[in-house]
Amino acid sequence: MINLGEPIFILIVIMTVAGALTTVLSGSVIYALIGLVATMFGIAGLYVYLNAPFLAMMQILVYVGAITILIAFAIMLAGPFYKRPKEWTGIGKFSAALVVSVISFLTFFTIIMKVSWTEGKGAFNLLTKDIGRALFDRYAFPFELISLVIVVSIIGAIMLAMFSRGKND
């Protein structure tokens, strides 16, 4: 029997990385967005491989269904400025980007190395129920704190929008 899993896994990884590269390198915002969608799908595919279909579907529902659509909406409202020349800026911006990416890479690297990961082949069987329990029982406080942060940012956004709207009239 051919193992179909491996080629599909490689395809998913290629899709994730290619999407990420498109997002970063593309000169046009809308192509960057499509790259982002591809990356999100790739990550969802990786979740499926980790035996977490619920997380995978949530990834697509939230990141593809809500976030990228909202970004696309914002791009459209901002006006059709595609076919804009690519901006390869000077050494200043480049070095700043380099510093930021190195710092974030090191942060993630240390966190990933520190956490003790549960190993197991197929033994890692997470049920949707367990996720719900974890969110509303063990991690209830951080969960609620996150929603508080979101409420604050929504109110802030509304305030900003109302303020600028009043100015224009």
Partner 1 sequence: MKTINNIIELVGWEAIKLLIGLIGVLVVVVVNALVLTWAERKVSGHMQRRIGPKEVGPCGMLQPIADTIKLIAKELLTPQNVERPLYFLAPVIVFIPVMVSFVVIPFDAYLQVKDINVGILVILAFSSLSVLSILLAGWGSNNKYSLIGSVRSVAQNIAYEIPLLLALLAVVLMTNSLSLRDIVESQKGLWYIVSQPIAFLVFFIAGVAETNRTPFDLPEAESELVAGFHTEYSGMRFALFFLAEYTNIFIICAITTTFFLGGYHGPILPGFVWFFGKTYLLVFVILWFRWTFPRVRFDQLLNFSWKLLIPVSLLNLIVTGGILKL
For residues 79-108, which are near partner 1 according to CB under 8 A?
A: 80, 82
User: Applying CB under 8 A, what is the total number of residues that bind partner 1?
Assistant: 26
| Interface with partner 1 in residues 9-38 (CB under 8 A) | 30-31, 34, 37
Site string for partner 1, 57-76 (x = CB under 8 A): xx-xx--xxx-xxx-xx--x
Cβ 69 to partner 1, closest distance in Å? 6
Q: Which is nearer to partner 1, 9 or 31 (CB)?
A: 31
**Length of the chain in terms of residues written:** 169
Four-point Cα dihedral 61, 65, 66, 70, nearest 10: 170
Q: Tell me, residue by residue from 35 to 54, as one string, x for binding to partner 1 by CB under 8 A and - for no binding.
A: --x---------------xx
- In the complex with partner 1, the residue whose CB is nearer, 73 or 108, is 73
Shortest distance in whole angstroms from residue 104 CB to partner 1? 28
Structure tokens at 42: 């790739």
Three-class SS of the chain: CCCCHHHHHHHHHHHHHHHHHHHHHCCCHHHHHHHHHHHHHHHHHHHHHCCCHHHHHHHHHHHHHHHHHHHHHHHHHHCCCCCCCCCCCCHHHHHHHHHHHHHHHHHHHHHHHHCCCCCCCCCCCCCHHHHHHHHHHHCHHHHHHHHHHHHHHHHHHHHHHHHHHHHHC
Site track for partner 1 across 104-143, x = CB under 8 A: ------------------------x---------------
Given the rule CB under 8 A, which residues bind partner 1? 1-2, 4, 30-31, 34, 37, 53-54, 57-58, 60-61, 64-66, 68-70, 72-73, 76-77, 80, 82, 128
